Amino acid sequence: MSCEWSVSSSRRPQVAVAGYTGVNDKPRVKLSFSDNSGVSFGEPVIIDDGNPAGRVETLLLSDGSALVCWLEKVPGGGEVRVRRVMPDGKSNPSIIVSTTGTARSNGFPQLIRSANEIIFAWTGAGVLTASMALPRSGPILTLFLLFPDKP
């Protein structure tokens, strides 16, 4: 059994915890929110699209939603994916950030917020980056646009 965890807290008392587990040979990436500094957590929400390899990263946003990034296995390799989840469990469809390998050498995707965009970094054939614009307004489930940088 393999487990990986990512914790994000940007404003007290809210905390978001994302985790990958392979319990009972059923790999899953899940996310749970706490609104009391981690004393208790809500029911976990399944984040992955059915075949996760793990490599979980999470980022809590100022509106209370969380971005969860993970590696999803696909035929011929893997995909770095991201999904936005609101504290009530509603979520966007996942977005493919990039294709990549699934070897441990591909590392863990990293997320950071810079002004009104999210910067992703991961390893593949070198260090790769992409940015994603955050919507300034609109419905919770607004889709994001990706602007991959050239490696």
69 or 62: which carries more pLDDT confidence? 69
Q: Are 59 and 73 in contact (CB under 8 A)?
A: no
| pTM assigned to the model | 0.81
Residue 146: predicted pLDDT: 42
The 10s digit of each residue's pLDDT in 95-132 is 988 888 777 777 778 888 877 778 787 776 666 677 77
CA 129 to centroid of chain Cα atoms: 15
What are the domain boundaries of the chain?
3-110
- For 75, how many CA atoms within 13 A lie in the half-sphere containing its CB? 0
pLDDT digits (tens, 9 = 90+) for 26-60: 999 999 999 998 899 999 999 999 999 999 999 98
